[in-house]
Amino acid sequence: MALLSIRNLTTVFHAEEGEIKACDQVSMDIPAGKTIGLIGETGCGKSVLGMSILRLLPRNAVIRGEIYYKDQDVLKMNGDQLQRLRGNEIALLPQSPSTSLNPVLKIGFQIAEGLHLHRKTKWEQAWEKAVEMLDFLKLPEPEKRVQEYPHQLSGGMKQRALAAASITGNPSLLIADEPTKGLDAVLRAQVVGVLRQLARETGAAMLLITHDLKVAASLCDQIAVMYAGEILEQGAAEQVLKDPVHPYTKGLLASLPEHGLHPIPGYSPSLLDVPAGCKFHQRCSLARDLCAEKCPPLQIINGVQVRCFFGDQSGEPQQELHNRDLQEAAV
């Protein structure tokens, strides 16, 4: 039994412009201790999926389906149960370190408050634990840092402070929401290091939400590729990133600089107006009439789950081209 099982999760936002289906029939398993990468373009619903697990969505969001955490359905939990779940069992490592810390509270307070909230730990002890956590994350001078305010810390330090805050409750699952978004290369390497350390030394499972394929490749055991609210391909990281089946995953890889910067033609659809059939068919070089009519089911091809009618067919000229491109780029 996986630590977290998501079954047919559909998250819909009721906005003035209409219904926005940010997650559509998403199913996913996160085994204990494993790192799952959720990749996709901006606005494909991957952050919404992460927030759906914690039920931290605005009030106009409706979540359907099932999210089982240790055999409990998160979607059936009441407020108290959710508060016990958050931080204690499932923690969030938020995006944008600059705004995710409260500007008027000390760093130590913000790291220690999880312990104070869940374990009723006395402030002095929680404070010591905060110092310990920052030390664990190799932040220099932790005793000094806990007494400082967010504006006195650099971006990397803030990210570490947030990481410390998210793991003080000793959660079994950490949801890292675009932890490397908007960071420069040096900082990104540091954050990746912190994440690797978290995954390895705390033994927590991690859902890493990112659009950075390289970060995903370096950290994840499994990869799920999301597009317009649907999971298009999901499987072992090696398999998905080295030998992808779905044309979209191939396109994503081909758009990397080292593979020749071939962008996928067209734009990802607005979640307000998702095309019928396969959601990727308008941009897909393999698309046929069938793709516009029917949504392909998830099927297992080459050991990974793929949502494509033609993913397993060889001899397609476009597909060959894609493969050849990739191979050339890899050489």
Partner 1 sequence: MASAAVAVERNLTFIQLKKNKLAIIGLLIISLLVIVAVFAPVLAPHHPYEQDLDRVMMAPCSEYPFGTDDFGRCILSRIIFGTRISLAIGLIVTAISAVAGIILGMLAGFYGGVIDEVIMRIVDIFLAFPGLILALVIAGLLGPGMFNVLFALALVGWMGYARVVRGAVLAEKEKSFVETAMSLGASDLYIMCRHLLPNVIAPVIVMATLGIGHTILAAAGLSFLGLGAQPPIPVWGSMLNDGKQYLQTAPYMTIFPGLAIMITVLSFNFLGDGLRDIFDPRLKEKSIE
Nearer to partner 1, 117 or 298 (CB): 117
**121 is a site residue for partner 1 (CB under 8 A):** no
Sheet holding 4-15, edge to edge: 18-30, 4-15, 61-69, 72-73
**Distance in Å, CB of 92 to partner 1, minimum:** 3
**42 is a site residue for partner 1 (CB under 8 A):** no
Distance (Å, whole) CA 98 – CA 101: 7
Distance (Å, whole) CA 13 – CA 3: 27
One-character DSSP codes across 248-293: HHHHHHHTSGGGT--PPSS-PPPTTSPPSSSTTGGG-TT--HHHHH
Nearer to partner 1, 68 or 149 (CB): 149
Piece of 80-88, 194-202, 203-211, 246-254 that binds partner 1 (CB under 8 A)? 80-88
**101 is a site residue for partner 1 (CB under 8 A):** yes
One-character DSSP codes across 101-154: S-TTS-HHHHHHHHHHHHH---HHHHHHHHHHHHHHTT-SSHHHHTTS-GGGS-
Residues forming beta bridges with residue 76, ordered by sequence position: none
Distance (Å, whole) CA 280 – CA 276: 10
Distance (Å, whole) CA 46 – CA 228: 9
DSSP state of 74: G
Judged by CB under 8 A, the residue of 5, 11, 35, 95 near partner 1 is 95
**173 is a site residue for partner 1 (CB under 8 A):** no
Nearer to partner 1, 162 or 224 (CB): 162
Measured CA distances, 120 to 84, 112, 117, 125 (Å): 12, 11, 6, 10
**122 is a site residue for partner 1 (CB under 8 A):** no
Judged by CB under 8 A, the residue of 103, 140, 257, 263 near partner 1 is 103
Residue environment code for 73-108, b if the CB has 16+ CB neighbours within 10 A, otherwise e: ebeebeeeeeeebbbbbbbbbbbbbeebbeeeebbb
Closest CA to 108 of 136, 137, 73, 149: 149
**149 is a site residue for partner 1 (CB under 8 A):** yes
**230 is a site residue for partner 1 (CB under 8 A):** no
**Distance in Å, CB of 96 to partner 1, minimum:** 6
**164 is a site residue for partner 1 (CB under 8 A):** no
Judged by CB under 8 A, the residue of 8, 42, 102, 154 near partner 1 is 102
Distance (Å, whole) CA 49 – CA 37: 12
**54 is a site residue for partner 1 (CB under 8 A):** yes
**268 is a site residue for partner 1 (CB under 8 A):** no
**85 is a site residue for partner 1 (CB under 8 A):** yes
**Distance in Å, CB of 210 to partner 1, minimum:** 17
Nearer to partner 1, 59 or 76 (CB): 59
Distance (Å, whole) CA 71 – CA 84: 15
Judged by CB under 8 A, the residue of 5, 11, 52, 166 near partner 1 is 166
**172 is a site residue for partner 1 (CB under 8 A):** no
Piece of 100-108, 215-223, 263-271, 274-282 that binds partner 1 (CB under 8 A)? 100-108
**105 is a site residue for partner 1 (CB under 8 A):** yes
**37 is a site residue for partner 1 (CB under 8 A):** no
- Which residues of the shown chain bind partner 1 in the complex (CB under 8 A)? 54, 56, 59, 79, 82-88, 91-92, 94-96, 99-106, 110, 113-114, 117-118, 144, 147-149, 152, 162, 165-166, 169
